Amino acid sequence: MPQFPSVDWFKAAADILNKSDSFKRLGTCDTTMGVQVGDKHYEVDFEAFEVAEVKEIDAKRAEELDFVLVQPFDAWKAMLLNIKEHGRAEHEFTLNSLDLSSEVEFAKGKDYHRRDAFYRFNQTIQEYFDMTAKLDTTFAA
Protein backbone atom coordinates (compact mmCIF):
# COMPACT_ATOMS: atom_id res chain seq x y z
CA MET A 1 0.00 0.00 0.00
CA PRO A 2 1.93 3.10 -1.18
CA GLN A 3 2.03 6.15 1.04
CA PHE A 4 1.36 9.63 -0.30
CA PRO A 5 3.58 11.48 -0.87
CA SER A 6 6.40 9.17 -1.91
CA VAL A 7 8.28 8.03 -5.00
CA ASP A 8 6.59 4.64 -4.60
CA TRP A 9 3.16 6.28 -4.76
CA PHE A 10 3.94 8.32 -7.87
CA LYS A 11 5.52 5.26 -9.53
CA ALA A 12 2.48 3.12 -8.71
CA ALA A 13 0.26 5.73 -10.35
CA ALA A 14 2.59 5.78 -13.38
CA ASP A 15 2.49 1.98 -13.66
CA ILE A 16 -1.31 1.97 -13.70
CA LEU A 17 -1.43 4.70 -16.36
CA ASN A 18 1.25 3.03 -18.48
CA LYS A 19 -0.69 -0.26 -18.48
CA SER A 20 -3.97 1.42 -19.44
CA ASP A 21 -5.24 2.46 -22.87
CA SER A 22 -5.19 6.14 -21.86
CA PHE A 23 -2.38 7.19 -24.16
CA LYS A 24 -4.14 5.51 -27.10
CA ARG A 25 -7.22 7.60 -26.38
CA LEU A 26 -5.51 10.84 -25.35
CA GLY A 27 -2.40 10.84 -27.52
CA THR A 28 1.19 11.62 -26.68
CA CYS A 29 2.25 13.70 -23.72
CA ASP A 30 5.68 15.31 -23.54
CA THR A 31 6.22 17.25 -20.35
CA THR A 32 8.33 17.19 -17.24
CA MET A 33 5.96 17.92 -14.39
CA GLY A 34 6.65 18.56 -10.75
CA VAL A 35 4.44 17.95 -7.74
CA GLN A 36 5.11 19.79 -4.50
CA VAL A 37 3.63 18.58 -1.23
CA GLY A 38 4.89 20.68 1.66
CA ASP A 39 8.66 20.72 1.38
CA LYS A 40 8.82 17.57 -0.75
CA HIS A 41 9.20 17.73 -4.53
CA TYR A 42 8.65 15.00 -7.10
CA GLU A 43 9.37 14.90 -10.82
CA VAL A 44 7.11 12.98 -13.19
CA ASP A 45 8.43 12.69 -16.75
CA PHE A 46 5.88 12.05 -19.48
CA GLU A 47 7.54 10.94 -22.72
CA ALA A 48 5.32 10.20 -25.71
CA PHE A 49 3.11 7.25 -24.68
CA GLU A 50 4.33 6.62 -21.13
CA VAL A 51 5.42 8.01 -17.84
CA ALA A 52 9.11 7.31 -18.27
CA GLU A 53 10.50 8.31 -14.88
CA VAL A 54 9.49 9.38 -11.40
CA LYS A 55 11.91 10.65 -8.78
CA GLU A 56 12.17 12.82 -5.70
CA ILE A 57 13.99 16.07 -6.38
CA ASP A 58 15.00 19.25 -4.58
CA ALA A 59 13.42 22.71 -4.89
CA LYS A 60 16.18 23.91 -7.23
CA ARG A 61 15.47 21.11 -9.73
CA ALA A 62 11.72 21.79 -9.44
CA GLU A 63 12.32 25.31 -10.75
CA GLU A 64 13.75 23.80 -13.96
CA LEU A 65 10.65 21.73 -14.79
CA ASP A 66 7.89 22.75 -17.19
CA PHE A 67 5.55 23.37 -14.25
CA VAL A 68 4.97 22.28 -10.66
CA LEU A 69 1.57 21.51 -9.13
CA VAL A 70 1.52 23.05 -5.66
CA GLN A 71 -1.04 22.78 -2.90
CA PRO A 72 -0.95 21.95 0.82
CA PHE A 73 -0.91 18.34 2.00
CA ASP A 74 -4.53 18.54 3.22
CA ALA A 75 -5.68 19.73 -0.22
CA TRP A 76 -3.81 16.87 -1.94
CA LYS A 77 -5.36 14.41 0.50
CA ALA A 78 -8.87 15.78 -0.10
CA MET A 79 -8.36 15.53 -3.87
CA LEU A 80 -7.09 11.95 -3.70
CA LEU A 81 -9.87 10.86 -1.34
CA ASN A 82 -12.42 12.36 -3.73
CA ILE A 83 -10.84 10.44 -6.62
CA LYS A 84 -10.89 7.21 -4.60
CA GLU A 85 -14.54 7.70 -3.65
CA HIS A 86 -15.80 8.56 -7.15
CA GLY A 87 -13.33 6.76 -9.42
CA ARG A 88 -12.16 10.10 -10.80
CA ALA A 89 -11.94 13.70 -9.65
CA GLU A 90 -15.31 15.34 -9.20
CA HIS A 91 -16.16 19.02 -9.65
CA GLU A 92 -13.86 21.20 -7.56
CA PHE A 93 -11.18 18.48 -7.36
CA THR A 94 -10.25 18.39 -11.06
CA LEU A 95 -6.90 19.90 -11.95
CA ASN A 96 -8.62 22.57 -14.04
CA SER A 97 -10.93 23.53 -11.17
CA LEU A 98 -8.06 23.62 -8.71
CA ASP A 99 -6.08 25.84 -11.06
CA LEU A 100 -8.97 28.21 -11.75
CA SER A 101 -10.32 28.49 -8.22
CA SER A 102 -7.08 28.66 -6.25
CA GLU A 103 -6.18 31.96 -4.61
CA VAL A 104 -2.53 31.12 -5.29
CA GLU A 105 -1.07 29.58 -8.41
CA PHE A 106 -1.68 25.84 -8.60
CA ALA A 107 0.40 25.16 -11.73
CA LYS A 108 3.57 27.18 -11.20
CA GLY A 109 6.34 27.73 -13.71
CA LYS A 110 8.89 30.41 -14.53
CA ASP A 111 8.40 30.20 -18.29
CA TYR A 112 4.83 30.69 -19.53
CA HIS A 113 5.45 28.71 -22.73
CA ARG A 114 6.72 25.70 -20.79
CA ARG A 115 3.98 26.05 -18.17
CA ASP A 116 1.47 25.90 -21.02
CA ALA A 117 2.16 22.13 -21.09
CA PHE A 118 -0.14 21.91 -18.06
CA TYR A 119 -3.01 23.13 -20.24
CA ARG A 120 -2.02 21.24 -23.41
CA PHE A 121 -1.69 17.89 -21.62
CA ASN A 122 -4.27 18.49 -18.91
CA GLN A 123 -6.43 15.49 -19.76
CA THR A 124 -3.49 13.07 -19.60
CA ILE A 125 -2.28 14.57 -16.33
CA GLN A 126 -5.82 14.36 -14.94
CA GLU A 127 -5.96 10.73 -16.04
CA TYR A 128 -2.67 10.11 -14.19
CA PHE A 129 -4.23 11.29 -10.94
CA ASP A 130 -7.63 9.69 -11.64
CA MET A 131 -5.93 6.30 -12.04
CA THR A 132 -4.98 6.50 -8.36
CA ALA A 133 -8.55 5.48 -7.57
CA LYS A 134 -7.17 1.98 -8.12
CA LEU A 135 -4.52 2.44 -5.42
CA ASP A 136 -4.98 1.75 -1.75
CA THR A 137 -3.25 4.90 -0.58
CA THR A 138 -2.13 5.66 2.93
CA PHE A 139 -1.23 9.19 3.91
CA ALA A 140 1.81 10.51 5.74
CA ALA A 141 0.90 12.22 8.98
pLDDT, tens digit, 9 for 90 and up, residues 54-75: 999 999 999 999 999 999 999 9
Q: How far apart are the first and last CA of the chain?
A: 15
The full set of domains in the chain, from first to last, is 3-133 (3.30.1050.10)
Question: Is the per-residue pLDDT at 132 higher than 90?
Answer: yes
Question: Is the per-residue pLDDT at 138 higher than 70?
Answer: yes
Q: What is the pTM of this model?
A: 0.95
Strand order in the sheet with 50-57: 50-57, 40-47, 31-37, 67-70, 107-108
Each residue's pLDDT tens digit, 94-127: 999 999 988 888 999 999 899 999 999 999 999 9
Q: At what angle do helices 122-130 and 73-86 cross, to 10 degrees?
A: 80
Question: Is the per-residue pLDDT at 3 higher than 90?
Answer: yes
